[in-house]
Structure 1
Amino acid sequence: MSDESTATLHRLQAFLAGQEGTAGTRITDLRRAGAGRSRENWLFDLVGPGPQDREPLILRSDPDGGLVDTSRAQEFAVLRALEGSDLPTPRVRWLDATGAQLGSPSLLMRREPGTCDYRVVNGDRPEAERLALAESFCDLLADVHGVDWRALGLHDVLPDPGDHAARHELDHWEQVLRQNQLEALPELDLAIDWLRTRARPSRRTVLVHADYKPGNILLEGDQVSSLLDWELAHLGDPLEDLGWVTQPLRAGEHLIDGVWTAGDLLARYAAATGLHVEEGELRWWVVFSTFKTAVMQVSGLRAFIEGRSDEPYRPTRRVLATLLAALTED
């Protein structure tokens, strides 16, 4: 076992020893999963005290640096609230909000069954299977937006921007940009000006996942077993998620050329939710989503320069060119 694994094991043992219902348990099969672009994940089983007692768990901790800074306490609260819904979300178990015991702010949750494939919609499965999956992902997004967030108490966790969701999100991501920017990026300044002058009031407020993609969905065969990574979730405009899944940089994860288009996705979503999307409204959120992608990479580059990340993320020519194309589209 590496020094890092040993240190993580000792911290976990000390933390779990103080939690209710863990007497007589032990940690087995501790291993680090891919750190991802925002969180550091450790997988393990909590075993005992009975011979059949085994709970698969995952420890999600803040790394030194990543693409986004988010709150483990907020993610824990969102997931705990969603346990009262019908959404397939992981069950949270414990929280170390400050990192005083686990070394950095962390949450522990159930490790749900299933596999993740961010390219599954355009992968090796037969076309009919891939289309069925794409449709099910659209249905699940409609279910997310249909959650009664007031009844679940999510308004106590997440601020409600009302009909100013677009400006609220733009202000937030512009602030992230300014806090992390290391060089002039005129394309992003142009995008901010374009977005600020064209922001529209939202027609409804829903729970927004904000990073909806197959890469955050676990599948067992052709069935969704869990929707993961709620760290960016907030209350806002449903078109935000729709803009995210149809933006050019992510379309290959959600759409199938000639089979499942953005129009097909929007039509199915409208049939499920009653929300018919206007082209101008969606375009704003497509531009915003492309802008947000670039800002995440600016944040990642800052973390790399400061020695908090091993990945030198930065806005690529492709990302900036895609943003400019979205701004100038007729």
Structure 2
Amino acid sequence: MAENIRQLLADFLSAQRVGAGLRILDLQRIGVGRSRQNWIFDLVVSRAGEEYREPLILRRDPEGGLVETDRTIEFKVLRALEASDVPTPKARWLDAHGAWLGKPSLIMCREPGECDYLVLNGERPAVVRVQLAHEFCDLLAQVHNIDWECLRLNEFLDDPGPDAARRELSNWVAVLRHDQLESHPELDLAIDWFERHAPRSIRTVLVHADFKPGNILLQGDKIVALLDWELAHLGDPLEDIGWVTQPLRAREHLIPGSWELNDLLGRYSNSTGLDVDPIALRWWTAFSSFKTAVMQVSGLRSFLDGRSDEPFRPTRRVLSTLLTATTDTED
């Protein structure tokens, strides 16, 4: 497969007139990212008699995965964010429909650094891990503080206004109904609860929708890039906060005894000026578990259709967390 990808890349980049003597070196597929095929390589070309080498990464749609997303939207978001202070990779080229690369694809600059899902509870000294937790929180606040109208993100992303929760619920219920192969009464009970309790949004922000240490590149203890903007959209900031604070991701975002939920919410509020409504946050936290379950339903469908190699399905832990979060204790 690698040689086929190499030839596809060479043909595509030649058509972009990137330079003479084009070579694709050190091409290899990496395991980072479950929903896209990620191929890293170096592009070598000659310009004005000098040789240039540029580290790049190809993000290519797979046959199937946990969630279907749009490379064109991801490309446009990355291009728009180049005018902001948010550290993101530079998007270089787009093959929107896969005419050249076989599948919808984008090519980005490859930033140095490493991802570590559990860096906040890893081997670094406690003081370093707490400082990183502060910086991760500040980075999320930075994303939410972006002037998305100034960056003209609303030219290709819809503003849901106060109805962000209902829009996201509708989107993910549609994915569930399309991909489910069997009944999921736990998910149906949760959907009923979501419909009855959907909060109104008080602010529209750029939502990353998969904010986690595993999507942040670190060089040493310094953040150099926020990756994987494929789910980005305009919506309620509590969507990202709910994703970060859901019990299923506690080890990624919290440090027991040093960086707890109230610490995160307090720092976030100080950075954004947004007071976090605990009732609304409960909805978004529960919704994050629902999204996780729907992604696993889609993953199982892809596996059974022969479009992916991993047989995801909703786990007992995910469903239990979801049911606990959507139980009305006062009813």
Q: Give the TM bin, normalised by the shorter chain.
A: over 0.9
Q: Which residue matches 1:83?
A: 82
Structure 1 distance, partners of 2:227, 2:40, is: 15
Q: Is the 8 A contact 2:18 2:45 kept in 1?
A: no
Structure 2 distance, partners of 1:263, 1:167, is: 27
DSSP-derived class of the 1:54 partner: strand
1:21 lines up with 2:18 in the alignment = yes
Post-superposition offset of 1:329: 6.5
TM-score normalised by L of structure 1: 0.97
TM-score normalised by L of structure 2: 0.97
Post-superposition offset of 1:328: 2.2
Unmatched tracts of structure 2, length 5 or more: none
User: Residue deviations 1:292-329, cap 9 Å, x none?
Assistant: 00000000000000000000000001110111111126
Structure 2 distance, partners of 1:218, 1:173, is: 28
User: Residue deviations 1:117-148, cap 9 Å, x none?
Assistant: 01100111111111000110000000000011
Moved over 6 A (4+): none
The structure 2 residue matched to 1:10, chosen from 7, 13, 27, is 7
Q: Give the AA of the match of 2:29.
A: R
**Percent sequence identity over aligned pairs:** 65
Q: Which residue matches 2:213?
A: 214
Structure 2 distance, partners of 1:222, 1:166, is: 35
| 1:46-65 matched pairs, under 5 angstroms | 46-49=43-46, 53-65=52-64
| 1:32-47 matched pairs, under 5 angstroms | 32-34=29-31, 36-47=33-44
Q: Give the AA of the match of 2:198.
A: A
| 1:267-278 matched pairs, under 5 angstroms | 267-278=266-277
Structure 2 distance, partners of 1:287, 1:122, is: 24
Structure 2 distance, partners of 1:129, 1:254, is: 14
Q: Which residue matches 2:325?
A: 326
1:101 lines up with 2:100 in the alignment = yes
Q: Which residue matches 1:165?
A: 164
1:120 lines up with 2:100 in the alignment = no
Post-superposition offset of 1:20: 3.3
Structure 1 distance, partners of 2:88, 2:272, is: 21
Structure 2 distance, partners of 1:201, 1:326, is: 19
Post-superposition offset of 1:160: 0.7
Unmatched tracts of structure 1, length 5 or more: none
Q: Give the AA of the match of 2:39.
A: W
Post-superposition offset of 1:25: 2.6
Q: Is the 8 A contact 2:10 2:22 kept in 1?
A: no
DSSP-derived class of the 2:178 partner: helix
Structure 1 distance, partners of 2:22, 2:224, is: 27
CA RMSD, Structure 1 to Structure 2 (Å): 1.0
DSSP-derived class of the 1:57 partner: strand
